[in-house]
Structure 1
Amino acid sequence: MKFELFIALRYLLTKREHSFISVISLMSVLGVGLGVAALIVTMSVMSGFSTEFRDKLLGLSSHVIAGVSGAPLRNFPAQMEKVASIEGVSAVTPIIYSEVMLSKAGAPKGVILRGIDLDSARGVLTIHKDMVDGRLEDLGADSAVPGILLGYELASRLGVNVGSTVNVLTPSLRGSAVGFTPKVKIFQVVGLFKTHMYEYDSSSAFVSLTAAQEMLGFKSDAAMYLDVRLHDPDEAPAISSEILKKLGGMPYYVRTWIDMNGNIFAALKLEKAGMFVVLIMIVLVGSFSIITSLVLLVMEKTRDIAILMSMGATADSIRRIFLLQGCIIGGVGTIMGYVLGLGAALAIREFQFIKLPPDVYPMDTIPVRLEWVDLTAIGITAFLLCFVSTLYPASKAASLKPVEALRHD
């Protein structure tokens, strides 16, 4: 063991003349540890929330959409084959999307209506996992009245349930004796879904692709656009370029989930960065305590430093002694923070004892996701702050003059 490390450990572990300095050192370790633990728990919860929210959002929509500008997508089966052949594409389904009005013995309610292909929709959408009553397959039941799936909140507002009928008013107009009136079609509610995303549950409805084509005047081989699901959502920008190339460029267009929801995820990233900056202040307080304890230690050990210098210790050796002390305090605090933080995060994830109101959040428990990038950044930042805090006390100790230090002894 080098003598600098030996002296540093001796100063830290032996009983000091002034116990107040030992208390400050202990507070430094605790401050760094609690700061690191708070960072780990907060970053893991925010990463978990962001991932859970993204998965929920992408389960309700698609990773990439492809369509024709200003016109329906014709001959969609052939276009689906082209897109499905691209590496990285998991599934493709046609979608008809329209804003309509729903009514049931009262004022109409504006909703987003989606016509979906039951054979391929399961590979792209996860709406079948959110059913609370009925099944997705019931949309294709052979009945004189076509079926419709409603969001749970939407059904509550309309006062309907499975088995009820609703009137769907489409934006296309038809002529009559009193002028042009909206086209009205009766649907039977065959299922209710609940995604725990209020805006979606209160304004969304699904019908079969065939029913949507008949109601909105689409031909049997026409859709609004293709919904594309990828194996890796993060590859959406690159694969979207391949999709556009495969379809033949203009007048086709593609949009990724990043394009359509970029503001939401940018806000989540900004919030995560802001929380990191705020919580790192706890570690900064602990690092200031390291400065205080080392400065006081230098004052207490002035005579010892002078003796070491008179015996041949160089200024660099003295500087390294106090640098090692600060690094040991910071390292112990960081390790303690990792133990506390990882333990708390894993406990929250495993036992799920913190519940969330499901009518407010898209999940009922706090999600936790431990990412090695976050854990590495927290450890490096905390240790660097502790290291920087040792520079001034170490330089102060190295600049002592042996003669001046021993003059009054």
Structure 2
Amino acid sequence: MLIARRYFLSKKKRNIISIISNISMIGVAVGTMALIIVLSVFNGLEDLVRSLYGKSDPDLVVTAVQGKSFELQAPLLARLTKTPGVALVTQVIEDNALLQHRDRQMVVKMKGVSDNYYAQSDIDSSIVDGSHRLRRNGTDYALVGAGVQHELGITLDNRFAPLRLLYPRNIQKKTLSFNPETAFNEQSILAGGVFLIEQHIDDSYVFVPLDFAENLLHYGNRRTALEVKVREGYDISSVKNKLHQVLGKSFKVLDSDEQHVSLFKAIEVEKMFVFITFAFILLIASINIFFSLSMLVIDKKKDVAVLMAMGASSRNVRNIFLFEGAIVALVGAFTGLVLGVSLCWAQQTFGLVSMGMATSVVDSYPVKMKFSDIVLTSVAIIVITIAVSIRPALNASQLDVRENL
């Protein structure tokens, strides 16, 4: 270790070996810094997605294991509401429907919710125009996403041009009449408010009262989901386990992340591929360590021969050059970690890099540092350092003493 440090700190001459070592350190530092920053950005985006969907997502959702709907019997609802930790249960009917306004039309996700929906959802804070109430003075109103409003040119509370929602008749029997006048159920409703949550929701969702959706879809007492609000002070995962026990195997209970499992899996997969890509970049940067160590072995043949003649074992010699490669890599890695963490902190605190979009829900790129990312990056650097250092170190340990004295 002392000899390796001496080789690293030696200033007798600035030859090609020291230049390559410095290039190696700079490459490892830049790669480490970039990896920390990119992983932190992915963490920030993941948290941003959670916060955006949190405005409309319930704590837990109960759905059927098979089929898209289930019969909601009074005993089932009673068992659910009496489960410890359950504060509120909202009934939901959700399905695709054709939305028409004047001479325009589009397929939307119609979501019918019971009257207690706003007691558990923060969607009212996302209203950008109109009111969030679905029923006012005995009149039903619909909440439309900003993208839906823009696509159809919807004006609020327009009694002369209400929204028309159409749904195929006999869809459960998988038969459809060829007569357009009898092929669809149709109901009209006024647009009462516009919400802005997240592009996917804004461009496709329309919220309506539960009985409106029930009549349009002819669902009767069937529901597509039950949204559960967990009582304050209770752990969501423990309440989820209790609901599993109460409801049995015919139902599945999903927490917030599980409701968007495909989206979060996509983020995780992208994060994994980014990590692999930057790990390869680190490997390429660390190849310079291989060349610098190989040249150092050639340059120090006589020193190695003297050490071995004095009793140093092949293992001692090998460790000298392994430590030399480790010092070069760790100095670069530590510098990169410090720079990466500092830049992420500055972005979190001051928002140095903006999103560059006037319509963005956040002003600057979201970042979130995780200790696990730092550990993972450190492990990758250690593995890469060993991989590129072991061959030159073995070559040094196999030098012939007689030929080099």
Change in 2 beyond 3 A, CA 1:106/1:382: same
The one of 86, 90, 111 aligned to 2:108 = 111
Q: 1:378 deviation in Å?
A: 0.9
Q: For 1:238-387, what aligned pairs fall within 5 Å after superposition? A: 243-249=243-249, 252-254=250-252, 256=254, 261-356=260-355, 365-387=364-386
| Cα separation, 1, equivalents of 2:339 and 2:95 | 51
Distance 2:240 2:140 in 1: 35
Does residue 45 in structure 1 map to residue 41 in structure 2? yes
What is the identity, as a one-letter code, of the residue corresponding to 2:17? I
- For the structure 1 residues 283 and 69, does the alpha-carbon distance in structure 2 shift closer, same or farther, using more than 3 Å as the test? closer
Cα–Cα, structure 1 residues 82 and 66, in superposed 2: closer, same or farther, change >3 Å? farther
Superposition pairs for residues 74-113 of structure 1, below 5 Å? 74-75=72-73, 79-84=76-81, 86=83, 92-113=89-110
Gaps of 5+ in 2: 171-179
Deviations 1:334-391 (A, max 9, x none): 1111111112222223333333366997766422222222221111111221123221
Q: Could you give the per-residue CA deviations for residues 227-257 of structure 1, whole angstroms, max 9, x where no partner exists?
A: 23569xxx999976753541355xx433647
Cα pair distance change 1:40/1:65, threshold 3 Å: same
State how far apart, in whole Å, the 2-side matches of 1:323 and 1:88 are: 57
The question of whether the paired residues in 1 share the 8 Å contact of 2:101 and 2:164 is answered with no
1:57-72 residue pairs with structure 2 within 5 A?
57=53, 59-62=55-58, 63-67=60-64
> Could you tell me whether the CA contact under 8 Å between 2:36 and 2:377 is conserved in 1?
yes
Q: Which residue of 1 aligns with 2:3?
A: 7
Q: Which moved more, 1:43-52 or 1:57-66?
A: 57-66
Q: Distance in 2 between matches of 1:346 and 1:236?
A: 31
For the residue of structure 2 that corresponds to 1:119, the secondary structure is helix
Residue in 2 aligned with 1:190? Answer: 192
Q: Distance in 1 between matches of 2:301 and 2:69?
A: 84
The change in CA–CA distance for 1:229 and 1:23 in structure 2 (over 3 A counts) is: farther
Could you tell me whether the CA contact under 8 Å between 1:169 and 1:182 is conserved in 2?
A: no
1:303 Cα deviation after fit: 2.1
- The alignment of Structure 1 onto Structure 2 pairs a total of residues equal to 388
Alignment deviations for residues 170-194 of structure 1 (CA, whole Å, 9 cap, x no partner)? 42669xxx97374443322221101
Q: Which residue of 2 aligns with 1:128?
A: 124
- Is the Cα contact below 8 Å between 1:149 and 1:206 reproduced in 2? yes
Q: Which residue of 1 is the match for residue 204 of structure 2? A: 203
Is the alpha carbon distance of 1:169 and 1:303 closer, same or farther for their aligned partners in structure 2, counting shifts above 3 Å?
closer
SS in 2 for 1:108: strand
**Is the contact made by 2:24 and 2:286 (CA closer than 8 Å) also made in structure 1?**
yes
Contact 2:243 2:253 in 1 (8 A): no
Which amino acid in structure 2 is aligned with residue 272 of structure 1? K
- Asked if structure 2 preserves the Cα contact closer than 8 Å seen for 1:154 and 1:203, the reply is yes
**Aligned residue for 2:153?**
159
1:111-164 deviation per Cα after TM superposition (whole angstroms, max 9, x unaligned):
2211223424442x442232212342x223224x31111111111222223333
Report whether the alignment pairs 1:142 with 2:137.
Answer: yes
The answer as to whether partners of 1:66 and 1:255 remain within 8 angstroms in 2 is yes
Q: Could you list the runs of 5+ residues in structure 1 that have no partner in the other structure?
A: none
Q: 2: CA distance between counterparts of 1:109 and 1:321?
A: 71
- Report the equivalent of 2:175: none
Structure 1 window deviating more from structure 2 (325-334 vs 110-119): it is 110-119
Tell me whether 299-308 or 334-343 shows the greater mean CA deviation: 299-308
Indicate the SS of the match to 1:164: coil
SS at match of 1:186: strand
Which amino acid in 2 is paired with 1:25?
A: S
Give the superposed CA RMSD. Answer: 3.4
- Structure 1 171/314 Cα, relative in aligned 2: closer, same or farther at 3 Å? closer
Is the Cα contact below 8 Å between 2:167 and 2:216 reproduced in 1? Answer: no
CA 313–87 in structure 1, closer or farther in 2 if over 3 Å, else same: farther
Taking structure 1 as reference, are residues 8 and 347 closer, same or farther at Cα in structure 2, changes over 3 Å only?
A: same
Alpha-carbon separation, structure 2, partners of 1:393 and 1:320? 11
SS of match in other structure, 2:278:
helix
User: Is structure 2 residue 227 aligned with structure 1 residue 227?
Assistant: yes
Cα contact 2:112–2:210 (8 A) shared by 1: yes
Tell me which amino acid in the other structure corresponds to 1:159: G
- Asked if residue 396 in structure 1 is aligned to residue 395 in structure 2, the reply is yes
**Residues 94, 320 of structure 1: alpha-carbon distance in 2 compared, 3 angstrom cutoff:** same
Percent of paired sites with the same residue: 25
- How far 1:310 moved relative to its partner? 3.0
How far, CA to CA, are the matches of 2:386 and 2:348 in structure 1?
33
CA contact (8 A) 2:69 2:223 kept: no
Report the secondary structure of 2:134's partner residue.
Answer: helix
Read off the aligned partner of 2:349 and give its amino acid letter: E
Name the stretch that deviates more: 82-91 or 307-316.
Answer: 82-91
Q: Which moved more, 1:256-265 or 1:373-382?
A: 256-265
Compared with structure 1, are the counterparts of its residues 193 and 328 closer, same or farther at alpha carbon in structure 2 (3 Å cutoff)? same
| Correspondence for 1:171 among 167, 176, 179 | 167
